[in-house]
Amino acid sequence: MAGINEVNRNESKMVVPLNTWVLISNFKLAYNLLRRPDGTFNRHLAEFLDRKVPANATPVDGVFSFDVFINRSTSLLSRIYRPAHGEEPQINIADLEKPVTAEVVPVIIFFHGGSFAHSSANSTIYDTLCRRLVGICKAVVVSVNYRRAPENRYPCAYDDGWAALNWVNSRTWLQSKDSKVHIYLAGDSSGGNIVHHVALQAVESNIEVLGNILLNPMFGGEERTESEKRFDGKYFVTIRDRDWYWRAFLPEGEDRDHPACNPFGPKGKILEGIKFPKSLVVVAGLDLIQDWQLDYVKGLEKAGQKVKLLYLEKATIGFYLLPNNNHFYTVMDEISAFVDSNC
Amino acid sequence: MSLYSSCTSAASSAGSSVSSTTKTSEIDCLLAGAGYRVRSSDLRHVAQRLERLDAAMVNSPAEVSQLASDVVHYNPSDIASWVDSLLSEFNQTASLPSDLPELPELVVGPVLNQTVLAEDAWTDHDAPQHQQLNNQFPVMTAMEEDSGIRLVHVLLTCAESVQRGDLAFAGSLIEDMQSLLARVNTSCGIGKVAGYFIDALSLRIFTPQGVGFGGGVGLDAAYENEVLYHHFYEACPYLKFAHFTANQAILEAFDGHDCVHVVDFNLMHGLQWPALIQALALRPGGPPALRLTGIGPPSPDGRDSLREVGLRLSELARSVNVLFSFRGVAASRLEDVKPWMLQVRPKEAVAVNSIMQLHRLLGSEPSRNSPMEMVLGWIRNLNPKIMTVIEQEANHNQPGFLDRFTEALYYYSTMFDSLEACTLQPEKALAEIYIQREICNVVCCEGSARVERHEPLAKWRVRLGQAGFRPLHLGSNAFKQASMLLTLFSAEGYCVEEKEGCLTLGWHSRPLIAASAWEALALPDANSPATAPGIFVNPHSNPPVNSL
């Protein structure tokens, strides 16, 4: 057993830069400590280990941020990132919610990853990622601090996403010149999963979402797919840990064919004929759940929905966290084009 | 194979000179952007250690659960040391219960071992909504929201006029603001905070300079301040967190010492010390002999309030069989205290405890032999086992008035927001007055009258590093206990965060108070081995307004 793992470790080291390997391995080992076999989660240690940054109303590289309540009674917070204009050295408290000025301003509602259990909107890695999104898309980014599993199971994360969508949609200061808020949904890992489900709800309630961006989205199912068997334990992720997170998120007693996990599975919803947003789905070629992600793309295509698949053969999970590889820049360009084209 | 090599950046210390014991080091700046600190030259080594740890964890799954539950983790930003500390756990044979004494349940409330308090206690918003302590946020009408925003606009314009010296115009704005105030709800939210800031600005504009506000100058003010402090202590968890965290660190530092001496820079009612006395009483192997030196302002009308507090603490110590002696040192200002007054003895382990006192030493202009340098100098010469420093996490000592004002507006808005959840009266009302006095001092005073010169943790790190102190990291046990304390005693919304060995307590992701612990570096000596503490300054730190 140990021998196989050694091989696996060597494999993963060969496909990512050293600092990326250190970062993701650090996460992997830390997360191993946090997941208990009985399904509970060491939340205190998780919060202690997670690196966070406060919001910063002083523009850094042209972006400033501040935290707002989406819903005070559930303590649902979001971090808003905005581009700074002109040479203001510091944004006034009164200007945080100043109306956006450009003709069209995309507003990206972002759901961070963490397999539904880890990370927060103020995690450093996600703060960094959101700031970059502001720059490349000339957008306002709203990063939602949704409730996490196992303390809060399905559908809490989706409910929080839905609340955030409604909040964003009703902010006059986020409206473009046509008096509408131009909304995109984006997320990685569990965040990508949330994007799908919130978009679905948006369609059912007639709120327009202009596009979905899913980065290594977290999907699954009861079946063990080829990619899961092939990549188990090879590139930082194991089937066992995926199973743990689904058990933590899904309602007790439900299996992985629950539509939250497997939207195009036996219990999934029919998407034919509805006006679902166009989707950009990024799949990493060394991600063990890629077969599920590819099934998701196929499912959208079969339902006549507009979807672009970006398959990155040699990419592992988390490749978008550090700007030190080709895949990172490819994806950022694609996202920028995706958010731009509609406007 | 990677086309993009890791970029590195030299960590630089703030502006001025670097202490001779620090080194600049090449830190991988991409990992820094993710919140981690690893020297580029160390990357390969760290990777190897990670591999080793991975293998160890795979081979002994039983140890893994122990790593999670019993081991204390420190400073996760420093991946190298974190991995090494976990690896060293695997080198131990049998599993050991923690040898370090923990604060007893009877004082703190939450029990510190897992069997009684379920491990899955929650933080922040993850907690199921059993109690809605903060459900009375009134819905603001659109007009109120507008008036609130206008108020803030005018406040900032007023502050800017004050900075420019145009007091006439600033004065006229006061009137405008007062009429705006009439249109918002002043019992909470922006209306309440704005009210206090308008008052503070009025005082500054209409009162001759040199009159101290909220500085606790004068004997009566000192007594009032004690009362207000006590209510602030009760109404919200900031001071409890400070005491709790400092005590845990002091307890650990005193481990193995039979004669210990705590120097408290601001005794007040001695609220911090019963818990430590009781913890020491329960120490395995028996309590040490404890001396406490409490510093505080002289008392009015012949009372000796320091001594009274000392007597009460003595009674408590006697009741739990801790050898205890107390000494009061009356001084109006910390810089008036001379080390000989503390009568530190040669063999005792000394802990210096400063809860929101050090910032008072910051004069307007840094100079040679400043009060700060002098005090830090004699503290270091005491060679304390530990110095606990708790300070407001804010940048209220900037030279520009507008910057200071804006920062204070943000900071105190957040603090008032957190106070909304408190339902205890009169604690809440008096706590607000306590905070209001701080606001007044920050806004109205200048020169030596302005004592509330808060600076952020990043600046304290540099200052204390240059003064010859090295950080002692506060670990996951202190973090967990602080988090549990909050979930049990306070409203949702408070959050503890770990930041490179220090802990901060904040309200909804804005840190408001920072706790850190320090030890004095060995004084430079020809015979001692070179120590390279490698004091890192996080190149990615986010002080609220200005950079270092």
Nearest to B401 by CA among B170, B181, B208, B151: B170
Per CB-CB distance under 8 Å, the chain A contacts of B1 are: 14-15
Distances, alpha carbon B419 to alpha carbons B125, B189, B233, B490, B491, in Å: 18, 10, 12, 10, 9
- CB atoms near residue B302 (< 10 Å): 5
Contacts of A49 in chain B (CB under 8 A): 73, 76, 476, 498
Instruction: Flag whether residue A21 sits within 8 Å of chain B, measured between CB atoms.
Output: yes
Residues of B146-167 as b/e, b for ≥16 C-beta within 10 angstroms? Answer: ebbbbbbbbbbbbbbbbeeeee
B511 contacts A58? CB cut-off 8 A: no
Q: Which residue of A has its CA nearest to B479?
A: A48
How do residues A265-274 score in pLDDT, each as one tens digit?
Answer: 999 988 999 9
**With an 8 Å Cβ cutoff, are B128 and A152 in contact?**
yes
Domain boundaries, chain B: 239-393+454-476+515-527+543-547
Contact B528, B408 (CB under 8 A): no
Q: Between A and B, how many CB-CB pairs are < 8 A?
A: 211
d(CA A198, CA A183): 12
Among the partner residues A26, A49, A125, nearest to B50 by beta-carbon distance:
A26
Q: Torsion angle, CA of A156/A161/A163/A167, rounded to 10 degrees? A: 160
Q: Using CB atoms, pick whichever of A93, A124, A151 lies closest to residue B406.
A: A93
- B76:A15 CB<8 A: no
* Each residue's pLDDT tens digit, B397-450: 998 999 999 999 989 999 998 998 888 888 999 999 999 999 999 999 888 889
Query: How many Cβ atoms sit within 10 Å of the Cβ of residue B346?
Result: 5
- In B, minimum Cα distance to A172 occurs at B142
Alpha-helical regions (H) of B445-530 = 457-466, 476-489
Chain segment B323-371, per-residue pLDDT in tens? 999 999 999 889 999 999 999 998 999 999 999 999 999 975 556 678 9
Tokens standing for residue A95: 């200007």
Distance CA B120, CA B445 (A): 47
Tell whether B125 is within 8 A of chain A (Cβ): yes
Which residue(s) pair with A82 in the sheet? A64
Contact B68 A15 (CB under 8 A): no
* pLDDT (mean) for B486-496: 82
Which are the catalytic amino acids of A?
A: 189
Which residue reads 């064919």 in tokens? A257
Query: pLDDT tens across A248-294, in order?
Result: 999 999 999 999 999 999 999 889 999 999 999 999 999 999 999 99
3-state secondary structure A168-185: HHCCHHHCCCCCCCEEEE
Beta pairing partners, A143? A79, A110
- Which helix (H) or strand (E) is B264 found in, with range? strand B259-264
CB B51 within 8 A of CB B39: no
Residue linked to tokens 């603090």:
B415
Instruction: Decide if A270 touches B, using CB distance below 8 A.
Output: no
Q: How far is A226 from chain B (nearest CA, A)?
A: 24
Give the sheet arrangement for strand A76-83, strand by strand. A63-71, A76-83, A140-144, A106-111, A182-188, A211-215, A278-284, A307-312
Those residues with Cβ within 8 angstroms of residue B70's Cβ, 6 or more apart along the chain or in another chain: B95, B96, B97, B98
Residues 163-192 of A with CB under 8 A from B: none
Cα–Cα nearest to B248, from B104, B37, B408, B91: B104
pLDDT in tens, B136-152: 333 445 555 677 778 88
Cβ within 8 Å, pair A47-B483? yes
- Enumerate the β-bridge partners of residue A10: none
Nearest to A290 by CA among A334, A229, A247: A229
Which string of DSSP letters, residue by residue, matches B336-359?
G--GGGG---TT-EEEEEEES-GG
**pLDDT of B487 above 60:** yes
Question: B114-128: b or e for each residue (b if 16 or more CB lie within 10 Å)?
Answer: eeebebbbbbbbbbe
On the CB side of A196, how many CA atoms lie within 13 Å of its CA?
29
pLDDT of residue B40: 92
Hey, what amino acid is at A255? D
CATH code of the domain occupying B239-393+454-476+515-527+543-547: 3.40.50.150
Cis bond leading into A150, ω under 30°? yes
Omega of the bond leading into B426 within 30 degrees of 0 (cis): yes
Hey, are the CB atoms on A47 and B479 less than 8 Å from each other? yes
Q: Are B536 and B25 in contact, with CB atoms under 8 Å apart?
A: yes
Rounded Cα gap, residues A157 and A163, in angstroms: 10
DSSP 8-state assignment for residue A236: S
pLDDT in tens for each of the 343 residues of chain A? 445 656 666 778 888 999 999 999 999 999 999 999 999 999 999 999 999 999 998 899 999 999 999 998 888 999 999 999 875 666 777 778 888 888 899 999 999 999 999 999 999 999 999 999 999 999 999 999 999 999 999 999 999 999 999 999 999 999 999 999 999 999 999 999 999 999 999 999 999 999 999 999 999 999 999 999 999 999 999 999 999 999 999 999 999 999 999 999 999 988 999 999 999 999 999 999 999 999 999 999 999 999 999 999 999 999 999 999 999 999 999 999 999 865 4
Residue A310, both tokens? 């970006």
Q: Sign of the C-alpha dihedral, residues B149, B154, B157, B158?
A: negative
Residues in A touching B76 (Cβ below 8 Å): 30, 48-49, 51
Quote the pLDDT of residue B18: 35
Q: What's the one-letter identity of residue A187?
A: G
The CA radius of gyration of chain A, in Å to the nearest whole number, is 19
Percent of all residues in chain B with a pLDDT value above 90, rounded to a whole number: 54
Contacting residues of A for B137, CB less than 8 Å apart = 72-73
Give φ, ψ of B201 to 5 degrees: -65, -40
Which residues, numbered 74 to 93 in chain B, qualify as contacts with chain A under a Cβ-Cβ cut-off of 8 Å? 76-77, 79, 83, 86
Tokens of A284: 């990493």
The residue ranges of DSSP E strands in B376-501, in sequence order, are 386-392, 469-472, 494-499
B51: nearest CB among A9, A74, A90? A9
